[in-house]
Structure 1
Amino acid sequence: FLNPDRPSPPDIDLDIADDRRDELIEYARHKYGADHVAQIGTFGTMMARGAVRDVTRALGFSYTLGDQIAKLIPMGAQGFPMTLDRAMKENPDLKKLYEEDADTKTIIEMAKKIEGNARHVSVHAAGVVISPKPLVEYTPLQYDTKGEKKIITQYDMYSLDPNAGGEMTVGLLKFDFLGIRNLAIIAETLVRIEKIEGKKITIEKIPIDNKKTFEMLTRGETEGTFQLNGDGMTRALMELKPNTIHDINVMVALYRPGPMDNIREYIARKHGTRPITYLHPKMKDFLDTTYGVLVYQDDLLMTALEVAGYSWGDIDKFRKAVGKKIPEEMRKQHISFAHAASYGHVAYITAYLKANFPAIYMSAVLTAESGDVEKIGVMIKECKRMGIEVLPPSINESFSQFTVVNEKPYKIRFGLTTIKNFGQGISSAITTERKLNGKFKDLADFLDRVKDKNLNKKSLESLIKCGALDEFGERGRLLSNIDNLLEYHRERMRAPNNQDSLFGLMSDTSTLPGLRLLDAPIATQKDKLLWEKELLGLYISGHPLEAYKDKLLTLQINIEKLPDLREGDTTVIAGIVEEVRDVLTKGNERMVFMRLADLSGIIEVAIFPRILNEFRSFIQPETCIAIKGKVSKRKGETSFIAEKIRAL
């Protein structure tokens, strides 16, 4: 990639654990000087919908009118933002409103004038510049608009970097400091392995020929790994039966648009079902390890050099055509060997840790995914498949994050900060007190010892509802007594120091009235499950569909098996409605996209206007329903189109 004839500088990307990216930027500032290093500014632009809403507000028209117009503008596709002109071509209702309503015409005409203009300044997700002289000699600077006192450039990447903006730029290279979550997961796993099992493992010493790892990948157990998960990649790995890290590198390189066509050829040649051939004898020198299949960008460049007779200068132009996918025939983009090998190594390490330290690795994955309810649900399902029990939060067992219960067989325990409405402050107060003075003996002991103002009605209610206090009492009874619990806690907080307290003069608080709970109805299983879903994002102590297990067993297909069906196949599925999202069609009719979950997985269900009008009463969150419909494979993603709906 670097040669004497190459006229342009290289792209430079550095990947680092996402929780340490700021450290890397600070290191660069310290090494090269704070006045030589800055993050790159970028400009958010006026998009079609935003321009309409801004103009409506600025010209004093009603919010309702602006909202009506904005909702008639279709969403753009990735890489192809929607424009007002295109929106009027695609949605006849918008065009009709524009032609018939004078206010709408005024708003849209003004919005067209500001559409595409810069609206605000923000910070580029990864870009950093480092200059040989102080940055003010190359670009104006400013503080980050979020008020964090970070210095950013006022020029964007297209004005700074010749790779992005061509020759008429300042000439500073953009370094991409990319935060990758999986690197943080690896680091956290290694810390936990040393803490739990006493084994100090470094990335450099992880063997790259671990049989257990390759066997796991061959079985298709890829969930939670880096770059190797997903239906298509998993199927390809099961067919490939990888047995070297080179196989992993190849899959990372090939599993992308264009090169993907070569996956089957690589697998067939590896297993000897097709002969290994070379388009030219010279190609054997650099395609020997990939069985004659073009895999990496380097392979294309070497072919141009050795077979086509290109000079290194010509090859640089060829490389740009491949990299930037121009002209049209170069759309099949390959990545470099260095890129594939780096990502392949990280992918292999995640697979190695999952295969050899399953519970510890999955606890680190769950911690990294905290806050993403859907991902947490997927990972907990994977834990269950692996035979790892995931336990609900416990006041005496949980720490802040997901942790491994240090008794074999290992189990994973929910963390306290994974509970909604439960912050780091109160979590730290509980775990610190427990570490200093041992486990809490009972509810009174807990309320006596945790003297923290953040133990309030909201946080205590969350602890009760999610089951963290189950060892001290039944949830329904505790919840009914919550005012008594809080009053008891307040008195214990005031007793030692406040003379105004009723019990403030007593130096021995053991004579204070004991904690007494009034009788109250117990919580139903349905209530418990709803609370768990509300506070943890998923069901822990059971599942609403367990009441319909016999009916579900009569169905031939579950959600997990839907991808195996063909486009247009008719079948019946059943599950619980997790989320309902209303949208307007081009004809200004209301339809619904619904997320349906069963005990095997989650699927998106499209409900078009006619079906919606007929079955609307069943389409409510937390409702258990059966749906007859057709399989859709649009854009390679499996979804379901509803035709009939009934309650389970």
Structure 2
Amino acid sequence: MDSLAITDHGTFYGVVDFYSACLEANIKPIIGCEVYVAHNSRHEKNPSEKSPAHLVLLARDNTGYRNLMQLVTKAHVEGFYNRPRIDKGLLEEFGSGLVCLSGCPSAEVPRLLADGNYDGAVKAAGWYRELFGDGYFLELQQHEHVPQLGQINEGLLRLAQDTRLPLVATNDAHYVHQKQSNLQDIYICIQTNTTVRDEKRLRMEDDSYYIKSPQEMEELFAGLPANVTSEAMANTGVIADMCDVSLEFGQTHLPRYDTPGGMDADEYLAQVCEEGFRRRYPNASAEAVERLRYELEVIRYTRFANYFLVVWDIIKFVRQREILFGVRGSAAASVVLYCLGITDVDPLEYRLVFERFLNMERKEMPDIDMDFQDDRRDEVLHYVIDKYGNDRVAQIITFGTLGAKAALRDVGRALGMSYGDVDRIARMVPFKARNLEDALKGSTELQGAMDGNEAVRELVDRAQGLEGIVHHVSTHAAGVLIADEPLTETVPLQRPARATSPARC
């Protein structure tokens, strides 16, 4: 295949990794999201809104990509009710630059067809066509054990004929290879806190939810008229050609420090440093003078003056409020930071090398790692929010993944094994093992337990298959993002569960 699309449910979590992996493999990345659309307003929270309609949106261009970020953000920040929801008002506002697929059986048009409301489906499809123009497609799927899918497809074929809307053949994909369907089943059990022994558990009824080859897709839709299959298959390429998003990495969006009288940031940084220099080095040597001049020149060349001023401003606030703080790492090698009062170690006295912290060839931001008194961190965060704007400051998200022992414990619980048996196996994983492969190489006890017991072998095999997968998301304990423009221009945002604090990205 020469192109791939990602459409996570309601989130953008996988976009950057997916985009980078596609480029590395010389595959065209198509960025999208399967959004949830409220029946009425995203602001309504009532029982009828617990099952919003699905809809697939793909970015045609960078404008569409930015609009998708806006939609995902507003779905989480404004429309969250069981799931992150948008509504048709948001689609009208941020629909530019997007391709829209009618969606799976849980989407609006297929639901209307399943309910026998053909006129309603025609009206709904007409609304989407009016909004998305040539970027709206009716989506055909073929999965066994999906109630009313045959009726839905018949309705979609009739709808395409009556309205001349284009069809596209798709396959709902939740894993890469067909053989991974059992891992998906266990993963759902882990997420829903059930076991494979529970017949009423949430599950996918068959193993068809993998990435099918073009040949398999042709066979899947062989029962349709040849011209319909040909059009629906060809339109996957048409959509891929429509989409062209280019993400730029390596750019900085540093917040701008509000200098007195609109003074140039480099000039103001030099002025503040000169004042601090006189305090720190009352009997300055020629070496100290030259070192400060050199560092300021490097900072000017690398365009990080605003970064240094923002950190200086934060530390000034912290010192005024007598909040305990510390600065770690290579930042201690900077005379500029010493003169600004950010660090208290004289780098000249200890012969610390500034180039380890920042140099002319370095394009990445230098690390000024700061730790604040843990019971007063919120004071610092809210100062930054007040200073730079609520829409430009956010804590960052973190993804919790399954390590070796956690994978064994979670998979064992999903398989219905006893806690004692699973705990015994998990304890066999050596402390220094990076993963289960390392554990098997380093523990003859674990290898022996597998060789002598089929249940243990299944446990370890399944755990290896899910090892490293994202288990949960939460707010990072330390990372805070500050930008020079609203964050939704660069990243999507969301709020942590049951929180009223600023949106997190």
TM-score, normalised on structure 1? 0.22
Q: Answer 1 or 2: higher relative contact order, Cα 8 Å, separation at least 6.
A: 2
Q: Which has the larger radius of gyration?
A: 1
